[in-house]
A = this chain, B = another copy of it.
């Protein structure tokens, strides 16, 4: 059982905001991250899959195929986008790292179940100081 990790990146706008709260309440909870005019990040997504090594290829999964899958299912939908307004799988969600990573897991798990590998872990880098990790449970 070997674990492979592929890094992909996306640059997006977002804000932390819960519509059930007033603007003042949102600022009290989220601080400047609640700015209604948005801010943004260079996100890095590390996708860890696990699987047996195929003795004919020496591979668990071809990392180029994994990259294409992540790009078509996730990156193309979030890169240079507004995460609050434009992403189908993030609708009706508070756009926190926690909720982004759970939503990406759901999108990727379905697709990876069709391959030789299984999704094991996601890591989302928002800044050099802030990270989220998720194992699907």
Contacts and interface: CB of A to CB of B under 8 A. Distances in A.
Q: How large is the interface on A (under 10, 10 to 19, 20 to 34, 35 or more residues)?
A: 35 or more
Nearest to A32: B80
A64 interface: yes
Contacts of A135: 1, 3
B39 A81 contact: yes
A120 B41 CA distance: 26
A38 B78 CA distance: 11
Contacts of A29: 57, 62
A64 B16 CA distance: 13
A-B pairs, top 8 by smallest CB distance, nearest first, are A40-B40, A58-B94, A58-B96, A37-B82, A32-B80, A5-B131, A13-B38, A3-B133
Interface of A: 1-9, 11-14, 16, 18, 20, 29-33, 35, 37-42, 46, 48, 53, 56-60, 62-64, 67, 79-82, 85-86, 93-99, 101-102, 127-135, 137
16 contacts: A1-B137, A3-B133, A6-B130, A11-B40, A11-B127, A18-B58, A20-B56, A35-B80, A37-B82, A38-B40, A39-B40, A46-B131, A53-B99, A57-B94, A58-B99, A63-B130
